[in-house]
Amino acid sequence: MTNSIIKKLEIDFEFEMENEKMSSLLYETLKLESNYNPNDRAKTSLEVHKNVLKLKIDAMDSISARAAINSYLKWISLSIQLINQIETD
């Protein structure tokens, strides 16, 4: 049996968008993901304040923290690309 030194990780991200519309659209695309929780090892929450999207990750271990971070960074990147593509069409 392994004993983990890390008991809990709290990670806060702030993503400053170019305008309030972009941060609101990004929030709307991601809020369903923040409510989905396949296990209790990591929980996320999202907030939007003007042009800043705030993401908070509470994880029980480094593996679940890394998985949550990677997932959200990919979703954010993809969402921004899609929003920009829709805006330019």
pLDDT of residue 21: 93
* pLDDT tens-digit map of 3-16: 667 778 999 999 99
Q: Which two tokens stand for residue 43?
A: 């929980």
Q: Over range 19-31, report the average pLDDT.
A: 93
The CATH label, of 3.40.50.970, 3.40.710.10, 3.10.180.10, 3.30.310.50, for the domain at 9-88 is 3.30.310.50
pTM summary value: 0.82
What is the average pLDDT score of the chain? Answer: 88
Q: How far apart are CA 56 and CA 84, in angstroms?
A: 24
- 42 or 33, which is more confident? 42
